[in-house]
Each structure stands twice: as C-alpha cells, then as structure tokens.
Structure 1
Amino acid sequence: MNLFRVKDNRTLPKNDFASVRNIVNRIADKTLRELEQEGVFVFPEKINDASDIEEEQVILQSYNACYRTSNIMGFVGYGNESIAIESRFSSGEKDYFFQYLLERVMGFPNVVDLGVHANQGNGLFDLLLFLFPRYLKDALRKGLFKTYIRNKYNDSRVSGSIDIPRHIAQNTPFVGNIAYSRREYSYDNSLTELVQHTIEFIRRKPYGRQLLSKVKEEVTSIIDVTPGYRFHDRQKVITVNQKAPIRHAYYREYRNLQYLCLLILRHQKNQIGTASKELYGILFDGAWLWEEYINLLVGDIFYHPMNKANQGAQRLFAGNTGLIYPDFISRDSRYRMIGDAKYKPAANIGNKDYLQVLAYMLRFDAKKGFYFYPSTNGVQKQYLWVNEGSTYENNVKAREDLCVIKLGLGIPESCGSYKEFAYEMDNAGAVFKAVLFDS
C-alpha cells in the first residue's frame, strides 16, 4: 500500500502527492458531508452543530499549485493508496500526540498507530470498535428504538392478513392452523437486532468484554428486547439495514449507530476498503479533541459550555439576543476568568481571537482571559495587558487590572515510545494546571 503522511494545517506542492494521486482526486475539495456520504467516518458525528468542525470544511483544499490541510486528523484510503493526516504538534515518525488525545478524550487504548497500521486491516477497524460504546450510549439516551414490523404466524388465533401460499405449504393437510401475518409495533426489529449482532461480534474480540463493560446497562437493554435474535441471520439483518437506513431527524443518534454497526459487521466479510473503488477512512477534528482534553485538565476550575450538545448557552444581550458559547467560564464568580482552547501555535493567536475573548470578558465582567494552546517549547505563559486611552489624546497606557494570557501546554518531544510520551504528557498537564493556578 502507498501511504502518504502529511501534517494538519500544512500547505504542500501538488507534486508531493504524486504517489497517491488517485485518492487525492477522490477527496480534494470535497466537503466533510460529501466524504461522509461516500463512506468516510467523521467524528464528532454531529458536524453541523460542532463549533470547530463544519460540514463545508474540507480536509484537502486546492490552493494554486498546492494542497492545504485543515484541523482534521485521521486516515483516508482508496484502493491501495492511503493518506494519514497527523498532528502538526507531533515530532518524530510516530504521531504520539494524536494517539494520546484519542486515549484521553475518547477512551481508546493505544492499540492503533495510523502511521503504521493505516491500511485495509485492523488499524482502522479497531478505531471503529472503540467508537461503539459511545455511539450506543448516545442512541439509547433517546430510549429503545421501536418501529412497525410484520411478523408471521401459523396458529388458530387469526388476527391479520392471511398468507394463502404459505398456508397451503405449511398446513396441508389442514390441522386447524392458519398462516397469517400481522404488522406490530415492536422493540425487536432489524435495527436493534443489528446492534445485538454487533455486540456479539465485539464480545468475541480479545478486548471485547472489557470494551462492552463501559455500557453494561445499554447492552443488557438491547439483549432483553431482541428475543428474535439468531446468529445465522446476521447477513439478512445487514442487508435489511443497508436497504432501509434510519432517516427521521429525531433518531439521528440511531442513524449514526446503524452506520457504525454496518461498517463493523461488513468488515468481518470484507475488510474495509478492499474493493478497488471504495473510499474509506475515519477523521477527527483536532480542535475539538484539544478542547475536550483541556476540559479534562481544568474541568474542576471552569464550566465548559458545549454548543455541540446544546449545553450552557449564554447570551450577550438582554432579550435573549446574541447566542454565545465560551469554551470555558470559571466557576469562581467573584474572580471570573474566561478560557479559550486554541489548537494553533501562540503566534497564530490574534485579531479575531482577541476580539472574541475580550467580548466574553466584557459579558462576564472577567479581568482575565486565557488562551490554552499546544506548545512545542514547554509550558509557556505570555501576559497581554489591555490598553486604555487613545492615540488621538496621546495617552495610551497598559491597564493594570485587565489582561489576556497565552498559556501553552508543553508537548513532549523525542520520546522513544508511546508509554514514555504519555508519562511526559501527564507531567506536562500537571505543570500546566499548576501554572494556571498561579496566574
């Protein structure tokens, strides 16, 4: 397989992509929504509601004689060509930083190295398996899925449409039974059985039981409502779900779960991407991963409004006007602080970033604002004191009570193994939090 590695937020000449020209022709300038429809798995799945990932965003954009990558990281493959998009904050041959974010935020153990195993085999497939508990939990928050199905019966208690051909085949000579079918509203349907087939498939993996232990109650609920489950009906259930995807907007979470289950179960028969004209892959928003990781570090100090989940909405103005979602609002109301997670170097934080945080600080009467960003030079802290006065009166000077602070979390470099990197990263997180307390 031809594997091409590229960092996120990079601009490279088109000639550099010559070895993967076929896949580039399939994905260049296509939006995430278009790639998702072609079979690429995009996370977070609710892309039209996420703050840092939009359906019109592209992972590879044409720019004169170059291609430019965005904040999206992950892996895309087509035939025998593949592209691994790694984090620009990783050093060395292996993208330990991306792996660390996946482990801490998504709960993925370090079983996948996109740079080594990003092929038609188990690397990508393992990522799909570890997404299952999260998607199952999200779907069942809506309650168990219930829909109309047609059940077939052959007894003397006729209640439904008589099936004459089946009656003749099954009840000759006549012994008192009638073959009929009835449309019923049931939890035991093609979708819930698809989920149980996926559960049983994962359970047989070496790490399957540990993985499913995270959603023990949800798994039990699915098993309890699918008495019609039969192991040998797996291909039939897959075919039914492929022909009848969930379309109702209310069941969006179930639609995502259905799609994931189909990807997992189809892998058993045909490994992902073995078809020469099949596009496949899994993509993650780097900015979203970074924000969620920062929340793990500072969640005890800051509230974390989330527009993706419609939680913690704030308003700039009276009259329910000016909807905003600051990344972080300190829990201490007496000495309020605002935090903004930025998946970019300190030098790239400016202009609109400044205006956004200053607006939030004004709204919450905060005297300090923070930018939390990844730093390749250890923990960094830079104070920016807000000016007062005007150049027209020649009285500009720095205020002593109002500032924004760029606070960088040091990303380890030159680590010989992922275990070493994770250890160093945990220490860097502790130092970052200590510096935040002292700011």
Structure 2
Amino acid sequence: MSKKNFIQVFEYQKLKYDENQDFKKHHFDAMVLFNEKNQNKYYTVVNKGVLFNSYVGVIQIGGLTIEILPKADNSNNPDKGTWQKVLLNMLKVCKHIQVDNVSETNLNKKYNSILEVYFEMYLNELESLIKKGLIKKYRRIQSNQNALKGKLVFSQNIQKNLIHKERFYCEHQLYDKDHLMHQILYRGLLILKDLVNNNLKDKLNRILFEFQDYQQVMINKNHFEKLVNDRKTQPYLRGIDIAKMIILNYSPNLNSGNNNMLTLLFDMNKLWEEYIYRILQKHKPNGYQVSFQNSDKFWEHKTIRPDIVITNDQNENFIIDTKWKIINANNPSDDDLKQMFTYNLHWEANKSMLLYPRINQIDKEGTFHYNQLEKKCKVGFVNILDNGKIIQTKISSQIVFNKLISSNE
C-alpha cells in the first residue's frame, strides 16, 4: 500500500475531497451510500466530505485506505504512529486481535493500517492449517448416478431422468475437502486479492493455489450459522473468525466502477469500556471480583446497566462508568452525574467513579446529597501513555488502589 493511497485521520475530524487530493468524489459517494445503509451511524455527511465521530478503525474503498484513529490528548499535531499503536493494543487486549497471533514485537511493527494486521493474521492462520493438513468432512450432495447411491430424490429423478431410465438422481454423502469451512476460507482469500499490498501478494497466491479446486460460494452470515465445531475443526476457529470479519464487512459494487468497500470500525466508547474491564479483570487484587455490564430491572421492561462493578469479600460494591471523552475535572455533565447517582442507589454502592482518559486533569471527588445518604462519586482520569509508551499494566493499580477503593477505606 503506497502512502499516496493511504489517509490517516483522527476521530471527530473532517475529510473533504476538495481539500485532500487522494480522497476523490467517487470515494465520498461510496461512503455516503455505505453510511445510509447503516443508519448513518459511522460518520456525518458534510459539504464535500464527512465528519467522523466516535467510530475508529479502517475504511478501504477500492485502492484507498482511510484509517480513523482515537485521540486523547490536547496536542495540535498528535503522533499518528503512537495512536495507531494505542488502537492496536486496545484491540489486542479486547481480543479483537488474537493474542497468540500478534506478539508485542508485531504490535511494534510499522503497519500502514490495522487492516494489514488482520490480513497478515489471516494468511498466517491459513498457512498453518495447510502445513497441518486440511481436513476432510462429510457433505451431502445431489447428483445423477448410474447406480442407486444413498437416497433417491423422487421429484428430481422424474424431472431429470424421464428419458434416461438407467440413471438415478440421488442424495448421498461425500467425504472430501470441498466443504463449507474451506469454501468460507476460500471466499476470504478471493476478497483479499484486490486488497493486500505487494508484501503479502506472494503468500496470498501460494495459499490460493491450495484452494483452487474448491467451489466459489457467495458466503453470507447464514453460512456461518451452519458451521458445526468439533475437535477436528478447533484449529480453524481463528481463521474462520477473521474470514467472517472480512466477508461480512465487505460491500462489493456499492457504486459504479471499482468502489468495493471493506470496513473495520469500532465504537471507541465501547472499546474503551471493554479495555478497562479486561485490564481490571487481569490485574485485580486478591479478594475482589470484577463484573462487566451488570444488568438489572429498572422500570417496567427497561433495565439499568453500569459498565463495571467491583465487589470485595465483604460484598461491598464499587461502580465504574467509562467515558471516552476529554472533560474538565470540575465540569462533568449533569446527565453523567445523575446516572452515577442512580447506580449508587441501585447497587447500594457508597462509591462510584466516572473514568476518563487523562491529559493533565486532576481527580475530583464529590458527594451526592440525598436524605442524609452521603454517597460519593469521583471524577477520575487514567493515563494511557507515559512518554509516548502504552502503560496498560499500571492502569489497574491507578484505578483500583489510588482512585476507587483505597480512598473509600
């Protein structure tokens, strides 16, 4: 992928075709159509361009790749390479990128876009499967036979063999490699033919050679629901997961020309929420349990659901609600505070925290006043970077010891 066909932007940034020579009017038209088909949730269409929102990730239109990066600093010229690594790290922690497949060394490797990480993972998975030997499975087929084989399909036999009485139209089982799992993997490879850069083309072509005798099937989400996993297919799960991502996020022929689109987009609010939860779960202190998105009845059919609940051995609850936005410590929104107050009451928690990414803010703790019940809510901030380096191992201690629990004891 050449730099000429690669654009990096940050969330809440505009991209216009009259301001960026690589972003053309036909790219814009394809993006408008794609967004309309998805309830306009990924970005806002503006005059001659788009305004990105909380969704980060990659959009690939034909030969153009647009990478949308998260940003939690107040720099006028943030380092795109650093924030790409932040996004890759969050995806790895949240298991959107398999941990075993992407080492710390690979995460430090310079990728043009995060799509390249997935493409390389996919090819590596398939290369590994080929070396182990592609498995055979039983599949049902219907065909004309010279002898009765399996079950006779009466309606088709009458239709097709009215003249040729010596033939039998049968349904029978075949044990071979041309089954649904390989057809899914093959479809993923065919999509990649027009998407991978020159560094991966040789590997892709070698792997395609191994799949050339399989049927080309237009795979959709229903095919994935038909898959049955067992001991034999266990090694296929990662490859199938990536194939599912590639196939279901690929939109061919959205517009005239070659504007096929592949999207890999994540809501940064949900990604931040899951990222904090997984770090807390991994580094929780003894005597504490961490649970995610606890849901309880609130009003009629409506439910209430804080992001994270931490419970100690004395059954004391501590509530965390994550927010991916930059605020002043003295100015949380009224809606956020009211939401936390409700959590405090409903989960009988004396302490809760709104957790934001830190720039240079200082934590601030306040008290809710209601019928002499003094329940506390802290506006807390956590560092993502330290001198440009990701510091996920310190996040748990920042939250649990210094912010939420220790200050309550």
Which of structures 1 and 2 has the larger relative contact order (alpha carbons within 8 angstroms, sep 6+)?
Answer: 1
1:292 aligns with 2:274: yes
Shift in CA distance, 264/411, structure 1 to aligned 2, threshold 3 Å:
closer
Residue 407 of structure 1 corresponds to which residue in structure 2? 380
Match for 1:105: what amino acid?
A: C
- Structure 1 unaligned segments of length 5 or more: list them: 35-54, 133-144, 172-176, 202-230, 266-274, 307-311, 390-398, 416-420
Contact conserved, 2:142 with 2:169, CA < 8 A, in 1? no
Match for 1:117: what amino acid?
A: N
Q: Residues 303-382 of structure 1 correspond to what in structure 2 (within 5 A)?
A: 303-306=290-293, 312-317=294-299, 321-332=301-312, 334-347=315-328, 349-377=332-360, 380-382=362-364
Q: Residues 33-432 of structure 1 correspond to what in structure 2 (within 5 A)?
A: 34=37, 56-63=39-46, 67-89=50-72, 91-94=78-81, 95=83, 96-106=85-95, 107-108=98-99, 109=102, 111=106, 116-118=111-113, 122-123=116-117, 125-126=119-120, 149-150=141-142, 155=147, 159-161=151-153, 180-182=169-171, 190-195=179-184, 234=212, 236-237=214-215, 239-240=216-217, 242=218, 245-247=220-222, 261=243, 276-299=258-281, 300=284, 301-306=288-293, 312-317=294-299, 321-332=301-312, 334-347=315-328, 349-377=332-360, 380-387=362-369, 401-415=374-388, 421-422=389-390, 424-432=391-399
CA distance in 2, matches of 1:375, 1:407: 8
User: Match of 1:365, SS?
Assistant: coil
User: Match of 1:58, SS?
Assistant: coil
Contact conserved, 1:147 with 1:185, CA < 8 A, in 2? yes
Give aligned pairs, total. 334
TM-score (norm: length of structure 2): 0.64
Shift in CA distance, 4/193, structure 1 to aligned 2, threshold 3 Å:
closer
CA distance in 2, matches of 1:190, 1:25: 38
CA distance in 2, matches of 1:146, 1:248: 16
Deviations 1:243-289 (A, max 9, x none): x63449976999x9979537769xxxxxxxxx842222322222222
Shift in CA distance, 199/326, structure 1 to aligned 2, threshold 3 Å:
same
Shift in CA distance, 129/362, structure 1 to aligned 2, threshold 3 Å:
farther
Contact conserved, 1:61 with 1:69, CA < 8 A, in 2? yes
Match for 1:25: what amino acid?
A: D
CA distance in 1, matches of 2:40, 2:122: 22
Instruction: Out of 329-338 and 12-21, give the one that drifted further.
Output: 12-21
Q: CA deviation at 1:125?
A: 1.4
Deviations 1:186-241 (A, max 9, x none): 9998423435769999xxxxxxxxxxxxxxxxxxxxxxxxxxxxx8664643x22x
Shift in CA distance, 401/130, structure 1 to aligned 2, threshold 3 Å:
farther
1:7 aligns with 2:1: no
Match for 1:191: what amino acid?
A: L
Shift in CA distance, 182/251, structure 1 to aligned 2, threshold 3 Å:
closer
CA distance in 2, matches of 1:186, 1:402: 65
CA distance in 2, matches of 1:340, 1:77: 33
CA distance in 2, matches of 1:187, 1:324: 51
CA distance in 2, matches of 1:146, 1:98: 41
CA distance in 2, matches of 1:88, 1:61: 18
Contact conserved, 2:188 with 2:246, CA < 8 A, in 1? no
TM-score (norm: length of structure 1): 0.60
Contact conserved, 2:318 with 2:405, CA < 8 A, in 1? no
Which of 402, 405, 408 matches 1:437?
A: 405
CA distance in 2, matches of 1:196, 1:150: 23
Match for 2:79: what amino acid?
A: G
Q: Once superposed, what is the RMSD of the aligned Cα atoms? A: 4.9
Match for 1:4: what amino acid?
A: I
CA distance in 2, matches of 1:194, 1:261: 10
Contact conserved, 1:71 with 1:287, CA < 8 A, in 2? yes
Deviations 1:32-75 (A, max 9, x none): x83xxxxxxxxxxxxxxxxxxxx535333135687421111111
